């Protein structure tokens, strides 16, 4: 298994976002990646596990999601507060180098096309 990932039973995954944290949402389409901060993420159902995610229609990430139909929700650590703030206050629509300026790096799991945020010092606590 990837050293960045620890498995959580799907039926218990809601516990990671039940408190309504600010999350990071990443997506990829046609080789273009982005990640943004989002506070409107919460559990919708327990079984099967489902989330509700609300993203403004003008966001770059939402456009990637609408095209790819795939995204990742990340629960950042308190040590990533500056990163989360930056990603939530800068748009890739206006700043094509947003990810580089923030120092965002992605990794992928085998057989997955989804961009997972690899952020210092230890990465997100859940994806």
CATH code for the domain in which residue 100 is found = 2.30.110.10
Q: What is the mean pLDDT of the chain?
A: 86
Give tens-digit pLDDT for 64-82: 999 999 999 998 988 889 9
Q: Which domain holds residue 46?
A: 10-118
Q: Are 84 and 22 in contact (CB under 8 A)?
A: yes
Which residues in the chain come in under a pLDDT of 70? 1-2, 4, 14-20, 119-122
Task: Flag whether 46 is in a domain.
Answer: yes
Helix residue ranges per DSSP H, the chain = 60-68, 81-89, 98-102
- Retrieve residue 118's tokens: 């690899």
Q: Which residues, 6 or more positions from 23, have their beta carbon under 8 angstroms from its beta carbon?
A: 17, 37, 38, 39, 41, 73, 74, 75, 76
Task: Flag whether 68 is in a domain.
Answer: yes
- The number of domains in the chain is 1
- pTM confidence score: 0.81
- Retrieve residue 91's tokens: 């748009």
Task: Flag whether 1 is in a domain.
Answer: no
Task: Flag whether 56 is in a domain.
Answer: yes
Range 39-43, long-range pairs (CB < 8 A, 24+ positions): 41/17, 41/73, 42/17, 42/18, 43/14, 43/17, 43/18
Q: What angle do CA 37, 8, 21 make, to 5 degrees?
A: 25
């Amino acid at each position: 298994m990837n050293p960045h990932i620890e498995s959580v039973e799907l039926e218990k995954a809601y516990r990671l976002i039940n408190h309504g944290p600010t999350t990071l949402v990443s997506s990829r389409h046609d080789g273009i990646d982005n990640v943004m901060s989002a506070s409107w993420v919460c559990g919708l159902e327990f079984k099967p596990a489902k989330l509700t995610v609300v993203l403004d229609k003008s966001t770059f990430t939402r456009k990637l999601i609408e095209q790819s139909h795939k995204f990742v929700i990340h629960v950042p650590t308190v040590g990533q507060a500056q990163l989360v703030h930056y990603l939530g206050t800068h748009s890739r629509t206006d700043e094509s180098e947003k990810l580089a300026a923030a120092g965002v790096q992605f990794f992928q799991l085998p057989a997955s096309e989804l961009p997972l945020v690899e952020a210092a010092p230890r990465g997100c606590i859940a994806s």
